[in-house]
């Protein structure tokens, strides 16, 4: 079984990332993630490993700058644990 990580709560209207609140085990995670994403996302970037071991990316976003922004935002959220410091704490 693989773990499925959801970066947001399905009822969120903000840009807060909640990585630690949604971890579920699934025997077939890719269709589950895609089905869930299709219900809540307007655009998507999917990055994963194909069965032959190569890295693949699919996206609905046309602008390369927007793709990079989404990927960097996701990277930042992963590295910071989804926690943002306010300007006063920095």
> Which of 15-19, 25-29, 45-49, 76-80 is the least confident region?
15-19
**Tokens found for residue 60:** 């609905």
Let me know if residue 87 belongs to a domain. no
Cβ-based neighbours of 78, under 8 Å, separated by 6 or more: 19
Task: Find the domain containing 44 and state its range.
Answer: 2-80
For all residues of the chain together, what is the average pLDDT? 78
Establish if 88 belongs to a structural domain. Answer: no
Q: Is residue 14 part of a domain?
A: yes
Please list, in sequence order, all residues whose beta carbon lies within 8 angstroms of the beta carbon of residue 32, skipping any fewer than 6 positions away: 4, 26
Count of domains for the chain? 1
pTM over 0.85: no
């Amino acid at each position: 079984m693989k773990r499925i990580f959801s970066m947001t709560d399905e009822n969120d209207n903000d840009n807060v990332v909640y990585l630690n609140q949604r971890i579920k085990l699934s025997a077939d995670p890719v269709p589950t993630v895609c089905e869930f994403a299709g219900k809540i996302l307007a655009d998507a970037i999917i990055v994963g490993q194909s069965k032959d071991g190569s890295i693949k990316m699919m996206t609905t976003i046309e602008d390369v700058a927007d793709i990079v922004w989404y990927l960097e935002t996701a990277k930042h959220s992963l590295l910071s644990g989804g926690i943002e410091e306010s300007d006063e704490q920095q």
